[in-house]
């Protein structure tokens, strides 16, 4: 049996956890640590995953109120997924420290740049894996997730070179990554292992940098953004600035490829309200600091001008201050 846990299971954590629990070919046990209302709804009626074609009802989930101060779980997870907002990472690690220490692997499933660096002082390097995905989800209401867009999924070892050199257990880590990738494919995510997963992290972050702030400011779904010529121009400028910063940090990015990928993801997730827009609509803090704001911070250190990303960051900060 394979045991999976999801810390901070909102839209994306519930989507992945639900699809994992729906795998028929292997015995998989899935545990979600989520909000009180979400946990109550799932216990009562199971988790509903709504797609364009059907509604899945997932009954075989173990759910826990994330506000429970003392969790009485004393077993290991084979893979423990971190699906919180990035700004909640340190608090989540403090809260779930005992579970993290007992788990075999800690899998980052979050937006943004620099997540690995936040974890490195807190979690053993050999445990850290990362998934990058453009699948989109909306927590419609407690107990129901809408799968609003499909796309790419990649998995990898963030510190591949150093892990390969430093740990005798590298072959075990690679075997476990292969198993995780197989699970992702069985769950329907069409996943691929990527040796340079940090390149994929940058590419996905740049997609978010191009789409999310604009969607949050205009209240438009992803597909509607790319139907507006002026917004497309703004989106492309934000992407180009981010690519320039990445290239100055020796990330092998292509301007044309990143622009094309951003349009592709926006089209594939046409009806999605991106996570930053969802946060604004729900009166919550956004992840602007690890997207456009991160580009601004890095650009300042490199003495590069990123005027579009600076303005987008300031505007989102302004929205947040009024929440």
- Its domain, for residue 88, covers 2-193
Distance separating alpha carbons of residues 102 and 76, to the nearest angstrom: 5
- Cα torsion for 266, 13, 206, 173, to the nearest 10°? -130
What local confidence, expressed as pLDDT, does residue 71 receive?
64
Is-contact 187 23, C-beta < 8 A? yes
On whether both 222 and 161 belong to a single domain, the answer is: no
On whether both 13 and 134 belong to a single domain, the answer is: yes
Instruction: Please give the mean pLDDT across all residues of the chain.
Output: 93
Query: Is residue 44 predicted with pLDDT exceeding 90?
Result: yes
On whether both 131 and 265 belong to a single domain, the answer is: no
Q: Which residues are tagged catalytic?
A: 204
Total of domains in the chain = 2
What local confidence, expressed as pLDDT, does residue 72 receive?
62
**Residues 275-318: tens digit of each pLDDT:** 999 999 999 999 999 999 999 999 999 999 999 999 999 999 99
On whether both 40 and 133 belong to a single domain, the answer is: yes
pLDDT (average), residues 190-208: 96
On whether both 24 and 158 belong to a single domain, the answer is: yes
CATH number for position 240: 1.10.1040.10
CATH number for position 18: 3.40.50.720
What local confidence, expressed as pLDDT, does residue 118 receive?
87
Q: What is the pTM of this model?
A: 0.93
């Amino acid at each position: 049996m394979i045991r999976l846990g999801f810390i901070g299971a909102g839209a994306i954590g519930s989507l992945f956890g639900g699809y994992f629990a729906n795998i028929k070919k292997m015995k998989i046990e899935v545990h979600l640590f989520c909000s009180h209302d979400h946990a109550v709804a799932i216990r009562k009626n199971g988790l509903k995953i709504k797609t364009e074609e059907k509604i899945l009802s997932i009954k075989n989930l173990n759910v826990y109120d994330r506000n429970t101060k003392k969790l009485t779980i004393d077993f290991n997870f084979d893979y423990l997924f971190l699906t919180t907002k990035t700004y909640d990472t340190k608090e989540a690690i403090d809260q779930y420290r005992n579970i993290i220490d007992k788990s075999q692997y800690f899998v980052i499933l979050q937006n943004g740049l620099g997540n690995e660096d936040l974890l490195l002082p807190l979690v053993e390097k050999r445990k850290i894996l990362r998934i990058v995905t453009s699948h989109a989800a909306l927590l419609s209401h407690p107990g129901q997730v809408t799968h609003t867009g499909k796309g790419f999924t990649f998995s990898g070892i963030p510190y591949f070179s150093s892990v390969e050199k430093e740990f005798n257990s590298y072959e075990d880590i690679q075997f476990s990554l292969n198993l995780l990738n197989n699970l992702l494919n069985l769950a329907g995510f069409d996943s691929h292992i990527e040796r340079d997963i940090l390149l994929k992290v940058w590419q996905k972050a740049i997609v978010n940098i191009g789409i999310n702030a604009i969607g949050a400011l205009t209240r438009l779904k992803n597909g509607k953004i790319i139907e507006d010529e002026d917004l497309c121009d703004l989106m492309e400028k934000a992407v180009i600035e981010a690519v320039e910063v990445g290239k100055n940090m020796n990330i092998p990015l292509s301007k044309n490829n990143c622009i094309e990928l951003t349009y592709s993801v926006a089209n594939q997730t046409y009806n999605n309200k991106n996570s930053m827009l969802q946060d604004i609509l729900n009166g919550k803090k956004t992840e602007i600091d690890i997207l456009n704001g991160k580009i601004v911070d890095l650009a300042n250190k490199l003495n590069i001008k990123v005027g579009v990303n600076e303005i987008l960051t300031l505007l989102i900060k302004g929205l947040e201050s009024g929440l």
